[in-house]
């Protein structure tokens, strides 16, 4: 299931951000599937550099995991540069309003700066920021209602009241009624997704580097070049931040008189805070609400073994190991 969610996220990113129909959910699309596998494997191998003390040696001799990583990067680069070349040809005949088209327009003004490598990095940044984060959060969202059936029913009831009941085989009709206005009215669903991100943030650990000397609010002095971590995963479980029931999954903590009220991003940093707040925050919520509304309206999920706890998959983002397929 997690694999399907991440594929959906990738398709959405390419279509909305870059004006391209990737169709990675089509199993016959071997080129896109190969690209996705290379991207996922490169993600995991890059993360393991944190625990592999000899990765630089392996990279120098091009052996082991570093040789595999280099092959995956070559696959990724070839696929993305092919897309960029194709879009340049299309753009000369037909202009669009997607983000990639706007960068293509700017590249005509400053080709020495916004070159193909720059465009490749733009595409990869959007993928890294939106693919696994959205897919992983949706997986955790399905897991929690399984552990809390009443919350699953409350979510489904809200969707039913606003959009209508979803019947098997009538997904298209249901999605047609799932308008922007309908999504905005789904306050409990928004709260449930936020509660999922509080306990299982897509990026559980964030590391920053100080550009200059600074002093933290508690008086701790930071030198230029120091690394500063904030552990979003731990923050979501701290009682002095979230109260005595910090460990409990309670969407109601986000609701006031039935209306969703966001917390300070410095208290809930799942999307960062200040000038570096995630640009795709609203898009991510919209993506997740569409999928979550459809699934909760059309299906009921149960765990094969309710007493079994899921485990994590070691990556840059917080994934469920095996995507929960063996547990649902």
Sign of CA dihedral 180, 182, 185, 188: negative
To the question of pTM greater than 0.85 for the whole model, the response is yes
Within the chain, which residues score under 50 in pLDDT? Answer: none
Residue 314 confidence (pLDDT): 65
Pick the closest to residue 200 from 284, 320, 315 (CA basis).
320
Residue 324 confidence (pLDDT): 61
Tokens of 30: 């071997």
Residue 15 confidence (pLDDT): 84
Average pLDDT, the chain: 87
Please report, for the chain, the start and end positions of each structural domain, with discontinuous segments joined by +: 136-324
CA-to-CA distance for 19 and 98, rounded, in angstroms?
Answer: 6
Secondary structure of residue 251 in the 3-state scheme: helix
Residue 250 confidence (pLDDT): 95
Residue 167 confidence (pLDDT): 64
Q: Are 2 and 134 in contact (CB under 8 A)?
A: no
CA-to-CA distance for 328 and 145, rounded, in angstroms?
Answer: 11
Residue 289 confidence (pLDDT): 94
Residue 79 confidence (pLDDT): 93
If you write DSSP's letter for every residue of 104-147 in order, what string do you get?
Answer: HHHHHH-TTTS-HHHHHHHHHHHHHHHHHHHHHHHHHHHHHHHH
Q: Residue 169 — left, alpha, or beta (φ > 0 → left; ψ -120 to 50 → alpha)?
A: left
Place of tokens 């008086």: 219
Which CATH code is given to the segment(s) 136-324?
1.10.630.10
CA-to-CA distance for 211 and 259, rounded, in angstroms?
Answer: 40
Cα 85 to Cα 53, 218, 277, distances in angstroms: 38, 51, 31
């Amino acid at each position: 299931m997690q694999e399907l969610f991440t594929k959906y996220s990738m398709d959405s990113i390419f279509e909305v951000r870059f004006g391209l129909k990737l169709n990675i959910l089509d199993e016959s699309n071997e080129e896109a599937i190969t690209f996705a596998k290379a991207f996922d494997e490169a993600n995991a191998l890059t993360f393991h550099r944190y625990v592999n003390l000899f990765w630089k040696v392996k990279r120098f001799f091009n052996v082991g995991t570093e040789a595999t990583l280099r092959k995956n990067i070559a696959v990724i680069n070839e696929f993305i540069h092919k897309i960029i070349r194709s879009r340049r040809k299309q753009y000369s005949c037909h202009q669009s309003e997607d983000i990639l088209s706007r960068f293509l327009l700017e590249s005509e003004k400053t080709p020495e700066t916004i070159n193909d490598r720059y465009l490749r990095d733009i595409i990869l940044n959007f993928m890294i920021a939106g693919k696994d984060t959205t897919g992983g959060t949706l997986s955790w969202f399905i897991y929690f209602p399984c552990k809390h059936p009443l919350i699953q029913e409350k979510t489904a009831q809200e969707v039913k009241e606003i959009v209508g009941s979803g019947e098997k085989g009538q997904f298209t009709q249901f999605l047609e009624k799932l308008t922007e206005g309908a999504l905005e009215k789904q306050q409990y669903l928004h709260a449930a997704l936020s509660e999922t991100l509080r306990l299982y943030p897509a990026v559980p650990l964030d590391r920053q580097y100080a550009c200059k000397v600074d002093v933290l609010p508690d008086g701790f002095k930071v030198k230029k070049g120091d690394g500063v971590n904030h552990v979003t995963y731990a923050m979501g479980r701290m009682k002095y931040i979230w109260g005595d029931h910090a460990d409990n999954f309670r969407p109601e903590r986000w609701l006031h008189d039935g209306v969703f009220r966001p917390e300070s991003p410095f208290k809930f940093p799942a999307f960062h805070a200040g000038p570096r707040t995630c640009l795709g925050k609203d898009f991510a919520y919209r993506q997740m609400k569409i999928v979550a509304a459809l699934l909760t309206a059309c299906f009921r999920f149960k765990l094969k073994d309710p007493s079994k706890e899921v485990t994590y998959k070691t990556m840059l983002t917080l994934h469920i190991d095996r995507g929960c397929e063996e547990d649902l």
